[in-house]
């Protein structure tokens, strides 16, 4: 499949910062949403996406057009989000409290809503599958490449993810009560 | 009878997505008309899909985006271009040439008529000024640390405007630093390298390896090729 980002990627590979800025503009919302929905924190998501774009910029001269730029960026973002999660776990509680810095009220509201609570409670594989497929519009092929499982498994994960999510949302009052909220 | 054989998960998923082939679709429809359990499954699938698809994309905070684009470090090529020269060296070579050219112009002017003599006077400071600005650019490029004092879109020319700047080895990495990209996270790459006796550390999301044979590092990381974590081989 021809990559619609190919001309910009080629320029960015040669060090063109303006071309890279356009790529950032094109992909920032999807990558930020991916990080925010998988990490459940907009501040951590912003750090992860910033780190992901930085890694991409540094690795671009060696980027081979074997996969779509968007798929490559999804992978880098997931890796950066994973690293961010490890970093956060290692952080003392006081530092985490000091860091609370809501930067965007809309994202903050989205991430504190019922959908995010349900996503947080989902199995990690199911969560990633439904976020990529239903929220970001990734294809089965892309998800299979990213997660390293066959297309049938991707469909099964989306199926189970949606079903679990609907159950949690459909009984949200009971769910919240049973969780002491 | 369709009611006794429930469709499997994949069939129900493909039914909801409209991907189920025509041959199987009527059978699953008929089953759903008669099976409450599968109808409930489909209802849940559709409700989950609807909730997810109604959720909007979130925008990266502008402050983060600006900080990212302002702080882009210089990219490092895998190999240096065969004819690459540093700006400092370029200035060192060109400076005497420019001085001679100016001197020749001045001599020729004084041997000509009075008009050309007057015209030659302002030429020298202008040339010297131009040379000075090239020298300053070169010095700044040679002194810029790898990541911290990176050129910004506003303050520095883009790579298109000044392709030579891309060939200048990042000074803090040393002239012979080489870079690979492997699958991360960096901490795991470092652990793997240390297990195999390499002097490896994580620096700002990159892996730095000191005093190692590039081929040996390549071999040690063979399983992790094609990732996005830069591995910098230091002399």
Q: Is pLDDT above 70 for B113?
A: no
Closest CA to A60 of B83, B99, B159, B54: B159
- Which of B10, B44, B56 lies at the smallest CB-CB distance from A166? B44
ipTM exceeding 0.90, yes/no: no
> Looking at the predicted structure, is the pLDDT value of residue B149 above 80?
no
pLDDT above 80 for B92: no
Q: Are B180 and B231 in contact (CB under 8 A)?
A: yes
Distance CA(B219)–CA(B212), nearest Å, equals: 12
Q: Cα–Cα–Cα angle for B209, B212, B217, nearest 5°?
A: 80
Q: In Å, how far is A163's CA from the nearest CA of chain B? A: 5
Question: Cα distance from B83 to chain A (closest Cα, Å)?
Answer: 16
Name the residue facing B45 among A33, A79, A162 (closest C-beta): A162
pLDDT beyond 60 at A95:
yes
Helix (H) or strand (E) holding B208: strand B206-210
How confident is residue A11, by pLDDT bands cut at 50, 70 and 90? Answer: very high
- Out of A36, A56, A115, the one facing B58 most closely (by C-beta) is A36
Confidence of residue A101 (pLDDT cuts 50, 70, 90): low
pLDDT of residue A90: 79
pLDDT at res. A57: 95
Q: What is the pLDDT of residue A144?
A: 97
Q: How confident is the model at residue A39 (pLDDT cuts 50, 70, 90)?
A: very high
Give contacts of A 22-51 with B, CB under 8 A.
Answer: 24, 28-33, 36, 42, 45-46, 49-51
Q: What number is the average pLDDT over the span B198-210? A: 82
- Please indicate whether, in this complex, the C-beta atoms of A103 and B63 are within 8 angstroms of each other: yes
pTM, two decimals, is 0.60
> pLDDT tens for residues B3-51?
468 999 999 999 999 999 999 999 999 999 999 999 999 999 999 999 9
Residues in A closer than 8 angstroms to B180, CB to CB, are 62
Confidence of residue B201 (pLDDT cuts 50, 70, 90): confident
> What is the per-residue pLDDT for A19?
97
Among the listed residues B143, B142, B147, the one whose alpha carbon sits nearest the alpha carbon of residue B75: B147
CA distance A94 to chain B (A): 23
Q: What is the mean pLDDT of residues B228-235?
A: 78
Neighbours of B157 (CB within 10 A): 13
A 91-150 residues inside an 8 A Cβ radius of B: 103-104, 106-107, 110, 115, 130-131, 134-136
**Chain A: residue nearest B153 by CA?**
A17
Q: Is A148 helix (H, G, I), strand (E, B) or coil?
A: coil
CA distance A100 to chain B (A): 15
Split at pLDDT 50, 70, 90, the class of B206 is confident
Q: Is residue B49 less than 8 Å (CB to CB) from chain A?
A: yes
Residues in Cβ contact with B204 at an 8 Å cutoff, skipping those fewer than 6 apart: B147
Nearest CB partner across the interface for B52, out of A28, A107, A134: A134
């Amino acid at each position: 499949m021809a990559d619609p980002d190919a001309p910009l990627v080629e320029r960015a590979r040669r060090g063109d910062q303006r071309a890279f800025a356009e790529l950032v503009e094109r992909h920032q919302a999807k990558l930020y949403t991916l990080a925010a929905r998988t990490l459940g924190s907009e501040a951590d998501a912003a750090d992860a996406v910033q780190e992901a774009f930085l890694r991409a910029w540094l690795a671009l001269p060696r980027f081979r057009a074997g996969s779509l730029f968007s798929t490559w960026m999804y992978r880098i973002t997931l890796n950066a989000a994973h690293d961010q999660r490890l970093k956060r776990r290692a952080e003392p509680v006081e530092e985490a409290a000091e860091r609370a810095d809501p930067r965007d009220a809309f994202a903050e509201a989205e991430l504190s809503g019922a959908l995010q609570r349900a996503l947080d409670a989902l199995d990690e594989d199911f969560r990633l599958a439904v976020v990529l497929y239903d929220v970001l519009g990734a294809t089965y092929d892309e998800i299979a490449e990213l997660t390293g499982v066959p297309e049938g498994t991707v469909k099964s994960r989306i199926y189970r993810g949606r079903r679990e999510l609907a159950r949690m949302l459909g009984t949200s009052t009971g769910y919240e009560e049973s969780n002491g909220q | 009878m369709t009611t006794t054989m429930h469709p499997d998960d994949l069939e129900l998923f493909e039914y909801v997505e409209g991907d189920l082939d025509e041959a199987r679709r009527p059978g699953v429809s008929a089953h759903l008309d008669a099976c409450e359990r599968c109808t409930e499954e489909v209802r849940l699938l559709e409700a989950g899909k609807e909730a997810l698809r109604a959720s909007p994309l979130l925008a990266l905070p502008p402050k983060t985006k600006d900080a990212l684009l302002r702080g882009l470090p210089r990219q490092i090529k895998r190999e240096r271009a065969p004819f690459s020269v540093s700006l400092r060296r370029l200035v060192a070579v060109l400076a005497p040439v420019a001085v001679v050219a100016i001197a020749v112009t001045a001599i020729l002017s004084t041997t000509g008529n009075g008009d050309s003599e007057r015209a030659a006077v302002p030429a020298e400071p202008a040339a010297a000024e131009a040379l000075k600005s090239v020298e300053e650019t070169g010095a700044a490029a040679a002194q810029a640390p790898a990541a911290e004092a990176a050129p910004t879109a506003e303050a520095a020319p883009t790579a298109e405007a000044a392709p030579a700047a891309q060939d200048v080895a990042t000074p803090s990495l040393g002239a012979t630093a080489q870079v690979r990209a492997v699958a991360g996270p960096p901490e795991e790459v470092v652990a793997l390298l240390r297990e195999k006796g390499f002097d490896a550390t994580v620096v700002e999301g990159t892996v730095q390896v000191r005093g190692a044979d590039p081929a040996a590092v390549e071999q040690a990381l063979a399983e992790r090729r094609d990732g996005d974590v830069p591995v910098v081989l230091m002399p």
